[in-house]
Amino acid sequence: MIRLAVTSGKGGTGKTMVAAALADISAVPQVLADCDVDAANLELLFEPRRLTTEEFRGLAAARIDPERCRDCGICADHCRFGAIVRRNDAWEVDALHCEGCGVCTYVCPMGAVLMEPRVCGEIYTSATDRGNLAHARLFPGSGNSGLLVTEVKKRAASLADGADLLLADGPPGIGCPLIATVSGMDAVLIVTEPGVSALHDLERLVTVCRRFGVRIFVAINRFDLAEDICARIEDYCREEEILVAGKIPFDPSVIEAVRNGRPVTRKESPATDALRELRENLFSELGLR
Ligand code: SF4
Ligand code: SF4
């Protein structure tokens, strides 16, 4: 099975549009993973039927036991994150700010601070007409999205029996969720667009992906909006020996498809043609038929 992640240097480049299009036209047995857990929306495009729902517990958070607390305030003095606050004449942990470092449990002379697991989101498996999908929802204000991505990938792997392709819609950027997504993948398709900052983001993303030994491909979305910068992106890819597997033109049908919550490839259009060509190039490089 080939594990392929679709990523981008920043949000808004059309990454999910490309991932959804590949999922829609892949024509190989596949399992899908929505690793963009901070803004998961593959499920909006594929009308999944929910199979399982699980709580996601992230790192523990502190809680003060009011029965044992003697109101000395030592814990608040030592909390570097300002998470221990005074409310209703008592010390309390503000869970939104607690980073789970545990210092308060160490300094409290009364043993009044407990570390407890906190529910940060939910993990789902679902069936779609384009294969099984592992996805998740992170509750507002919750962290640990890298940990959640790892859990989503594990669920996707557990659904992958008989699949030739694990296709992940990755997060934008180069942070912890991206690293959790790329780790263990065979290949990464970076979706970029012609812009000076997008080129800079692409360079940073390539540097990070290279550390994981994955094959790297690039797709340039809306390439015809600034052909001079598009040429610079292609020059950069040539120098780095990265295949530009596809170039997708600006196409109002993409906006219409996004508005209607459908993969763009459900209708014939210049973008659909370009996405089919991208799929051919990419899958042929990856040995997928
Ligand atoms: S250090 Fe312990 S006893 Fe002192 S305020 Fe904090 S929880 Fe209460
Ligand atoms: S666990 Fe760390 S961040 Fe959370 S309240 Fe205690 S000292 Fe502050």
Q: What is the pTM of this model?
A: 0.88
Per-residue tokens: 180 = 């959790």
Residue whose CA lies nearest to ligand 2 atom number 6: 104
* Across 263-278, average pLDDT: 96
List every span in the chain annotated with CATH 3.30.70.20.
61-116
List every span in the chain annotated with CATH 3.40.50.300.
2-57+121-286
Q: Report d(CA 231, CA 3) in Å as an integer.
A: 29
pLDDT digit string (tens) for 180-190? Answer: 999 999 999 99
Helix (H) or strand (E) holding 57: strand 49-57
**Domain boundaries 61-116, CATH class:** alpha beta
Ligand 2 surroundings by CB, under 6 angstroms: 62, 79, 81, 83-84, 93, 98-104
Which ligand has the minimum distance to the alpha carbon of residue 78? Answer: 2
Write down the CATH number for the domain with range 2-57+121-286: 3.40.50.300
Best CA proximity match to 41, nearest among 23, 60, 64, 59: 23
- For helices 252-260 and 15-25, angle between their N-to-C axes, nearest 10 degrees: 80
pLDDT digit string (tens) for 182-238? Answer: 999 999 999 999 999 999 999 999 999 999 999 999 999 999 999 999 999 999 999
Of 43-47, 107-111, 246-250, 253-257, the range with the lowest mean pLDDT is: 43-47
- Note the pLDDT of residue 65: 96
Pocket test for ligand 2, best of 93, 94, 107, 144 (most atoms within 8 A of CB): 93
Q: Report d(CA 177, CA 9) in Å as an integer.
A: 12
